[in-house]
Amino acid sequence: MVAVTATTETGARPVRARRRLRLPAWFGTTPFLAYVAIFLLLPTGIVVVNAFRSPSGALNLSGLKAPFESPDRSLFTGSIQLCLISSVLGAVLGAILAYAIASGDPDGAVRRLYIAVSGVLAQFGGVTLAFAFVVLIGPVGLLMHASWFYTFPWGIAVIYTYFQVPLMVLVFLPAIDGLKVQWREASESMGASAWQYWRYVGGPLLAPAFLGAALLLFANALSAFATIVAWENQIAYIVPQQIYLAINSEVGLSNVNQADVLALGMIILVAIIMTGYALLQRRAARWLR
């Protein structure tokens, strides 16, 4: 046997005949870091930097005021309105569905079916979905013609909710699974009714996870673009639509700057939301794992 040598702290790549490559272990992550740097961090950086620039390239903070003044302001309120409605609806409905799934056979067909369905529907929310709803409750709808279908925000909110619910199921189900059966039984044996259990034990325990999931839904709705474009693309109701117009219209460079500013606005909004989500998740994880 070879004499035992202590392993070095830094990760050694396989030793080749005479050359010894001693690279620190984290070099293994270089391909990933390089990729992300170029295709995620760089574009984001470009957006952020350009938002602070005037068309001539000088530093210009006036762009930052734009989201708070109309017409951009109505875009942001429109966005937030739509997101609020669809995420509240999605969260509540999704939570109910998630509970129904979680309270059944963990290996059963129903559970697998619904998780697969949720996996698919959470992804395919865009163009396809909007068309499906047009066909269902639009002007020549098979089910009915919902006169409110083309109104903002309620018409489009129904469509948004359709892909929010599956996402809620996927994100919230682990939390419900994390509720230990012993807690229910312990509270029962101490005399708690079902309502008391949810009010004092189940509810408080699920609250952080629920709120976190709802925030995630909110961020998800905020970013949605495809659905609303397929629904109605003549008028820009929400920020992403305006960004698109700003990039692709022929009016000139100044609109690209608008796109950057709007994009920055979105980044900030979503960043706030995701921070809230992360904090809530930490709390939920401690209790429900």
Partner 1 sequence: MAAVTSVGEAPLAASARRPRGMQAGRRRRLNAFRYVVFTFFTLFFLLPLLAMLRFSFEGSSLGTWSASAWSEIVSYQGPPPLLSAVEISLELGVLTSVVTLALLVPTMIWIRLRVQWISRAFEFLCLLPLTIPAIVLVVGLAPVYNRIRHYELSALMLFWAYVILALPYAYRALAAGLNAIDVKTLSEAARSLGARWFTVIFRVIAPNMWQAILNALLLSAALALGEFTIAYTLLYNNLQVELYSIDRNTPNASVIFSTSLTALIFTFLLLLIISYAGRRRRRGMR
Partner 2 sequence: MEGLSRRYGDVVALDGLDLTVQPGELVTLLGPSGCGKTTTLRLLAGLEDADGGQITVGGSDVTRLPASKRDMGMVFQAYSLFPHMTARQNVAFGLRLRRIGSAERDKKAVEMLELVGLAEQADRYPHQLSGGQQQRVALARALAIEPQVLLLDEPLSALDAKVRAQLRDQIRRIQLDVGITTLFVTHDQEEALAISDRVGVMQGGRIEQLAPPTEIYSRPATAFVAEFVGLTNRLAGTVSGSTVTVRGRDLPLVDISTPPGPAIALIRPEAVTLASDSSSESGPLTGTVIASTFLGATSRVTVDLGDTTIMAQLTTADAVALPAGSRVSLTIRPDPVLVSADAAPAAEAE
Pairwise CA distance, residues 3 & 1, whole Å: 6
Ramachandran bin of 22, using left for φ above 0, alpha for ψ from -120 to 50, beta for the remaining angles: beta
191 binds, among partner 2, partner 1, none (CB under 5 to 8 A by kind): partner 2
Pairwise CA distance, residues 209 & 171, whole Å: 9
Name residues contacting partner 1, limited to 28-47 (CB under 8 A). Answer: 28-29, 31-32, 35-36, 39-40, 42-47
Query: Do 126 and 227 form a contact (C-beta atoms < 8 A)?
Result: yes
Residue with tokens 């391909």: 31
In this structure, the chain runs to a length of 289
Q: Phi and psi of 129, rounded to 5°?
A: -65, -45
Task: State the minimum distance, in angstroms, from the CB of residue 61 to partner 1.
Answer: 19
Computed on alpha carbons and rounded to an integer, the radius of gyration of the chain in Å comes to 25
44 binds, among partner 2, partner 1, none (CB under 5 to 8 A by kind): partner 1
Candidate list 3, 142, 190, 235; residue touching partner 2; CB under 8 A: 190
Asked if residue 248 binds partner 1 (CB under 8 A), the reply is yes
The C-alpha angle 112, 91, 202, rounded to 5 degrees, equals 80
Asked if residue 281 binds partner 2 (CB under 8 A), the reply is no
Candidate list 66, 75, 83, 121; residue touching partner 1; CB under 8 A: 121
Candidate list 5, 182, 234, 248; residue touching partner 2; CB under 8 A: 182
84 binds, among partner 2, partner 1, none (CB under 5 to 8 A by kind): none
Asked if residue 201 binds partner 2 (CB under 8 A), the reply is yes
**Residues at the site binding partner 2, with contacts judged by CB under 8 A:** 180, 182-183, 185-193, 196, 200-201, 204-205, 286-287
